[in-house]
Chain A
Amino acid sequence: MPLSWLVIIVLAVSAVGYYLGRSRALAAAGGNSRDLHSLPSYYGANVLMKIIVPAFGVMVIWLLAQPLIIDRSVASMIPPSEIDEGASIGLVMAEVNRTAEGIRNAVAEGTMSREMAEDGRAEFVDFTQRLKDAGQIVTSNLSATIVRAAQRTNEMVAAGNMYMTALVLLIAAAGLGWGVKEAKPLFRARNVVEQGIRALLIGAASIAILTTIGIVFSLAFNTVEFFRLYNAWDFLFGVEWAPSFSGRGGSSSLGVIPLLWGTFYISIVALAVAIPVGLFAAIYLSEYASPKVRAFAKPMLEILAGIPTIVYGLFALLTVGPLLVEIFGEGGWLGVNWQGGGRAVMTAGIVMGIMLIPFVSSLSDDIINAVPQSMRDGSYGIGATQSETIRQVVIPAALPGIVGAILLAASRAIGETMIVVLGAGAAARLSLNPFEAMTTVTAKIVSQLTGDSDFASPEALVAFALGMTLFILTLCLNVIALVIVRKYREQYD
Chain B
Amino acid sequence: MYDAPKLETALDQQDIKISADKVQVYYGETHAIKDVSVEIEDKTVTAFIGPSGCGKSTFLRTLNRMNDTIDICRVQGNILLDGEDIYHAKVDPVQLRAKVGMVFQKPNPFPKSIYDNIAYGPRIHGLANSKADLDVIVEKSLRRGAIWDEVKDRLHAPGTGLSGGQQQRLCIARAVATEPEVLLMDEPCSALDPIATAQVEELIDELRKNYSVVIVTHSMQQAARVSQKTAFFHLGNLVEYDDTSKIFTNPSDERTESYITGRIG
Q: Is A454 an interface residue, CB under 8 A from the partner?
A: no
- Chain A residues 420-449 with CB under 8 Å of chain B are none
Using known A-B contacts A381-B66, A490-B160, determine if residue A396 contacts B112 with beta carbons closer than 8 Å: yes
Residue of A nearest to B116 (CB): A392
- Chain B residues 92-146 with CB under 8 Å of chain A are 94-99, 101-104, 106, 108-112, 120-121, 124-125
- Flag if A382 contacts B108 (CB, 8 Å): no
Using known A-B contacts A384-B124, A392-B120, A490-B160, determine if residue A377 contacts B97 with beta carbons closer than 8 Å: no
Q: Is B178 an interface residue, CB under 8 A from the partner?
A: yes
**Residue numbers in B under 8 Å from A392 (CB-CB):** 110, 120, 124
**Residue numbers in A under 8 Å from B95 (CB-CB):** 383
**Residue numbers in A under 8 Å from B120 (CB-CB):** 379, 382, 384, 392-393
CB < 8 Å neighbour of B108 from A375, A383, A388: A375
- Flag if A490 contacts B110 (CB, 8 Å): no
Q: Is A247 an interface residue, CB under 8 A from the partner?
A: no
Q: Is B64 an interface residue, CB under 8 A from the partner?
A: yes
Give chain A's interface residues, CB within 8 Å of chain B.
290, 372, 374-385, 388, 392-393, 396-397, 490-491
Tell me the interface secondary structure of chain A in the complex.
helix
Cα separation A374 to B111 with both chains bound (whole Å): 12
A41 to chain B, nearest CB (A): 45
- Flag if A377 contacts B108 (CB, 8 Å): yes
Contact with A along B225-258 (1 / 0, CB 8 A): 0000000000000000000000000000000000
**Residue numbers in B under 8 Å from A396 (CB-CB):** 110-112
Give chain B's interface residues, CB within 8 Å of chain A.
64, 66, 69, 71, 94-99, 101-104, 106, 108-112, 120-121, 124-125, 160, 171, 174-175, 178
- Flag if A383 contacts B110 (CB, 8 Å): no
**Residue numbers in B under 8 Å from A384 (CB-CB):** 94, 120-121, 124
- Flag if A382 contacts B121 (CB, 8 Å): yes
**Residue numbers in A under 8 Å from B171 (CB-CB):** 378
CB < 8 Å neighbour of A383 from B71, B104, B111, B124: B124
A-B contact count (CB 8 A): 72
Cα separation A380 to B175 with both chains bound (whole Å): 11
CB < 8 Å neighbour of A372 from B71, B108, B112: B108
A401 to chain B, nearest CB (A): 12
**Residue numbers in A under 8 Å from B125 (CB-CB):** 383
B128 to chain A, nearest CB (A): 14
Cα separation A392 to B103 with both chains bound (whole Å): 19
**Residue numbers in B under 8 Å from A490 (CB-CB):** 111, 160
**Residue numbers in A under 8 Å from B109 (CB-CB):** 378
CB < 8 Å neighbour of B124 from A372, A378, A388: A388
Residue of A nearest to B122 (CB): A382
Complex A-B: 17 CB contacts under 8 Å: A374-B106, A375-B111, A377-B66, A377-B102, A378-B174, A379-B120, A381-B101, A381-B102, A382-B98, A382-B175, A383-B121, A384-B120, A384-B124, A392-B124, A393-B110, A397-B111, A490-B160
**Residue numbers in A under 8 Å from B121 (CB-CB):** 382-384
- Flag if B104 contacts A377 (CB, 8 Å): yes
B71 to chain A, nearest CB (A): 8
Cα separation A222 to B246 with both chains bound (whole Å): 89
- Flag if A378 contacts B94 (CB, 8 Å): no
- Flag if A381 contacts B160 (CB, 8 Å): no
**Residue numbers in A under 8 Å from B71 (CB-CB):** 290
Residue of A nearest to B95 (CB): A383
Cα separation A376 to B71 with both chains bound (whole Å): 15
**Residue numbers in A under 8 Å from B111 (CB-CB):** 375, 393, 396-397, 490
- Flag if A383 contacts B160 (CB, 8 Å): no
Cα separation A376 to B70 with both chains bound (whole Å): 12
- Flag if B101 contacts A382 (CB, 8 Å): yes
Cα separation A440 to B262 with both chains bound (whole Å): 75
Cα separation A380 to B110 with both chains bound (whole Å): 12
Using known A-B contacts A385-B94, A396-B111, determine if residue A380 contacts B124 with beta carbons closer than 8 Å: no
CB < 8 Å neighbour of B64 from A378, A379, A381: A381
Using known A-B contacts A388-B124, A392-B120, A490-B160, determine if residue A381 contacts B110 with beta carbons closer than 8 Å: no
**Residue numbers in B under 8 Å from A393 (CB-CB):** 110-111, 120
Known: A383-B99, A393-B110, A396-B112. 11 other contacts (CB 8 A): A372-B108, A375-B108, A377-B66, A380-B66, A380-B69, A380-B97, A381-B64, A381-B102, A383-B95, A385-B94, A397-B110
**Residue numbers in A under 8 Å from B160 (CB-CB):** 490-491
- Flag if A374 contacts B104 (CB, 8 Å): yes
**Residue numbers in B under 8 Å from A381 (CB-CB):** 64, 66, 97, 101-104, 175
- Flag if A375 contacts B94 (CB, 8 Å): no
Residue of B nearest to A491 (CB): B160
A9 to chain B, nearest CB (A): 63
Residue of B nearest to A397 (CB): B111
CB < 8 Å neighbour of B110 from A290, A378, A491: A378
**Residue numbers in A under 8 Å from B174 (CB-CB):** 378, 382
B253 to chain A, nearest CB (A): 32
Cα separation A374 to B94 with both chains bound (whole Å): 17
Using known A-B contacts A381-B102, A383-B97, determine if residue A374 contacts B108 with beta carbons closer than 8 Å: yes
Cα separation A375 to B125 with both chains bound (whole Å): 18
Cα separation A372 to B69 with both chains bound (whole Å): 15
Residue of B nearest to A488 (CB): B111
B59 to chain A, nearest CB (A): 16
Using known A-B contacts A377-B108, A388-B124, determine if residue A383 contacts B69 with beta carbons closer than 8 Å: no
**Residue numbers in B under 8 Å from A383 (CB-CB):** 94-99, 121, 124-125, 178
> Which 8 pairs across A and B sit closest by C-beta, in order of nearness?
A383-B98, A381-B102, A374-B108, A383-B97, A382-B121, A378-B108, A397-B111, A393-B110
Cα separation A382 to B99 with both chains bound (whole Å): 8
**Residue numbers in B under 8 Å from A377 (CB-CB):** 66, 69, 102, 104, 108
B176 to chain A, nearest CB (A): 10
- Flag if A382 contacts B124 (CB, 8 Å): yes
A487 to chain B, nearest CB (A): 13
